Amino acid sequence: MADRPLKVLIAKPGLDGHDRGAKVLARGLRDEGFEVVYTGLRQTPEMVVTAALQEDVDVVGLSILSGAHMTLVPRITALMRERGLHDVLVTVGGIIPDDDVAELRAQGVAGVFGPGTTIREVADFLRANATPRGA
Amino acid sequence: MTADAADRATALADAARAGDRRSLARLLTAVENHTPLAEAALRRLYPEAGSAHLVGITGPPGAGKSTLVAALIARLREDGRSVAVVAVDPSSPITGGALLGDRVRMQAYASDDGVFIRSMASRGHAGGLSSTSAAAAAVLDAAGFDVVLLETVGTGQSEVEVAAAADTTVVLEAPEMGDEVQAIKAGLLEVADIVVVNKGDRPGAQRTAAQLRAMLVPSVGRGDADPSRRAPKRPEVIVTTAISGEGIPELIALLDRRRADGSSAEAARVARATAQVDGIVAQRIRDRLAEGTGGGATGAVYEAVARHELDPYEAADRLLALLGDGGVREA
């Protein structure tokens, strides 16, 4: 159905406790008309992927400020492929050095958003790139 | 619907029944979106449903519904029972967006294969649930979960719809949320099978429970109760501290006792079936008015009512006449 809102999982994998950005984004995407599932802090890759599967989301947005993105993100994208979530868009936000962006893209990340990104930019990117569930 | 779509519905329904979680999740999305595939799948699954215990959890925002659901999941899993959760949060009336935050309290159980949690936005539906929550619960029931917990949006005094969607309705209250007059007002407390005073570690919890027990007794004595008159339920009142798990085994024992008491469960089932069928009838009528008449004739009727040239009752009769065959025949 064309007018169904996009469903986005906002997850914070790993151990950093900085969830203000994730909450602001979750709230901002709500105001942009998305259905946002927020899972809270300290999620394992397994928890993130299971939530994405059960919720049948169109987008998984990962917020990572711990520096562990090169460990966490490949595990999550690999697990998503293993569970058949091939068509779910993955984006990463947080403190991601430019040098890591290419490798994250190679791991299946569609968009990387650093400090200074506006909510509108994220919303426009998701609308342009996510495929809504058809079933 | 094409034969291909019907085949896909059958395949998805059968895979969901067989335990494929991805298919189950996809099916729930189809149900949420009212697709033809969902209807075909529900037709197939409905006869398989009916063995789960559907428990509605409702109460004001912040009373602890999600925390209570998490505590129930923990305990039910210890007993070896599988649990599905449908957790509804409100959609924005302005943008249509929603923040679905109930999983935050339940994520500890996300990776357990005997647990399935699904968040749903209310999508403009009033009453505490989304318009598809009951259908989603039926799908999870057919998928073989022992218990299906239906968590409503934070409710106020009159969002009683969950009582029609569940076998057993649990209404949560937090301590010190109002005096005895609040407890004797009509509405939410009337549909409770079990009233839970949560946050039992807070001062006033026992007093709140005592007030509720005193106020929720039947207004007529048992001896002179007229069985033909509809009487409000007489709920059990229990105190829990969901965050520590205190009172949860007792709550589950109450739920199981309710479940075993067939008479009340039967009434809930008939109420649920009535609400479901009536809802579909209303939707079908709207669909047929929108499609069959091309919208032109109906639009003219609405405009005539807006101009006060036609009264709304006459307008409704005209629209029903447009549906054609008219009159109710024997089914």
pLDDT by residue (tens digit) across B126-167? 888 888 999 999 999 999 999 999 999 988 777 788 888 899
Q: Is residue A29 part of a domain?
A: yes
| C-alpha to C-alpha distance for B302 and B312, rounded to whole angstroms | 8
| C-alpha to C-alpha distance for A36 and A21, rounded to whole angstroms | 14
Nearest one of A74, A68, A117 to A97, comparing CA atoms: A68
Mutate to test the interface with B, among A19, A32, A55, A119 (most CBs of B within 10 A): A55
Do residues B88 and B9 both lie within one domain?
no
Say which CATH number the domain at A69 has.
3.40.50.280
What percent of chain A is modeled with pLDDT above 70? 96
Do residues B93 and B57 both lie within one domain?
yes
- Count other C-beta atoms under 10 Å from residue A13's C-beta: 27
pTM: 0.89
- Domain membership of residue A22 as a residue range: 7-129
pLDDT of B289 above 90: no
Contacts of A30 in chain B (CB under 8 A): 92, 95, 97-99
Q: Is residue B318 part of a domain?
A: no
Do residues B26 and B60 both lie within one domain?
no
Do residues B88 and B115 both lie within one domain?
yes
pLDDT band at B184 (very low <50, low <70, confident <90, very high): confident
Do residues B7 and B85 both lie within one domain?
no
Mutate to test the interface with A, among B37, B100, B153 (most CBs of A within 10 A): B100
pLDDT of A1 above 60: no
pLDDT (0 to 100) of residue A133:
66
pLDDT band at B6 (very low <50, low <70, confident <90, very high): confident
The answer to whether the CB of A60 falls within 8 A of the CB of A89 is yes
- Output B221 or B10, whichever has higher pLDDT: B10
Cβ distance A35 to B118 less than 8 Å, yes or no, reads no
What letter does residue B173 receive in the DSSP assignment?
E
The pair of structure tokens assigned to B49 is 């449903």
- Domain membership of residue B176 as a residue range: 49-218+231-261
Cβ distance B118 to A40 less than 8 Å, yes or no, reads no
| C-alpha to C-alpha distance for B307 and B313, rounded to whole angstroms | 14
Q: Is residue B68 part of a domain?
A: yes
Q: Is residue A33 part of a domain?
A: yes
Residue B194 phi, psi (nearest 5): -135, 130
What percent of chain A is modeled with pLDDT above 90? 85
Range B35-57 average pLDDT: 93
User: Looking at the partner chain, which of A33, A53, A135 has a beta carbon nearest the beta carbon of B95?
Assistant: A33
Find which of A84-88, B110-114, B270-274 is predicted with most confidence, using mean pLDDT. Answer: A84-88
Least confident of A50-59, A122-131, B273-282: B273-282
Classified as helix, coil or strand, B131 is coil
Contacts of B92 in chain A (CB under 8 A): 30-31, 33
Do residues B101 and B145 both lie within one domain?
yes
Do residues B121 and B37 both lie within one domain?
no
Distance from CA of A7 to the nearest CA of B (A): 9
pLDDT band at B1 (very low <50, low <70, confident <90, very high): low
Find which of B152-166, B201-215, B222-236 is predicted with most confidence, using mean pLDDT. Answer: B201-215
Cβ distance B96 to A5 less than 8 Å, yes or no, reads yes
Residue A120, judged by CB atoms within 10 A of its CB (0-12, 13-18, 19+), counts as: exposed
Q: Is residue A80 part of a domain?
A: yes
Cβ distance B100 to A83 less than 8 Å, yes or no, reads no
Domain count, chain B: 2
pLDDT band at B230 (very low <50, low <70, confident <90, very high): low
pLDDT of B214 above 90: no
Do residues B64 and B21 both lie within one domain?
no
Q: Is residue A2 part of a domain?
A: no
pLDDT by residue (tens digit) across A50-90? 999 999 999 999 999 989 999 999 999 999 999 999 999 99
User: Looking at the partner chain, which of B27, B38, B121 has a beta carbon nearest the beta carbon of A35?
Assistant: B121
pLDDT of B57 above 80: yes
Cβ distance B110 to A51 less than 8 Å, yes or no, reads yes
Q: Is residue A134 part of a domain?
A: no
Amino acid at A59: V
Do residues B36 and B56 both lie within one domain?
no
pLDDT of A8 above 80: yes
DSSP B58-89: E-STTSSHHHHHHHHHHHHHHTT--EEEEEEE
Q: Is B19 on the interface with A (CB under 8 A)?
A: no
Do residues B41 and B136 both lie within one domain?
no
pLDDT of A3 above 80: no
Range B62-80 average pLDDT: 95
pLDDT by residue (tens digit) across B17-40? 999 999 999 999 999 998 889 999
Looking up tokens 């403009």 gives B124
Domain count, chain A: 1
Taking each helix axis from N to C end, the angle separating B133-142 and B3-17, rounded to the nearest 10 degrees, works out to 60
Cβ distance B99 to A36 less than 8 Å, yes or no, reads yes
User: Looking at the partner chain, which of A1, A26, A29 has a beta carbon nearest the beta carbon of B35?
Assistant: A1
Do residues B34 and B150 both lie within one domain?
no
pLDDT band at B290 (very low <50, low <70, confident <90, very high): confident
Range A16-42 average pLDDT: 93
Q: Is residue A66 part of a domain?
A: yes
Q: Is B228 on the interface with A (CB under 8 A)?
A: no
Contacts of A31 in chain B (CB under 8 A): 92, 95, 97
Q: Is B86 on the interface with A (CB under 8 A)?
A: no
Contacts of B16 in chain A (CB under 8 A): none
Looking up tokens 């520590």 gives B244
Amino acid at B54: L
Q: Is residue B300 part of a domain?
A: no
Range B203-232 average pLDDT: 74
pLDDT of B47 above 60: yes
Q: Is B37 on the interface with A (CB under 8 A)?
A: yes
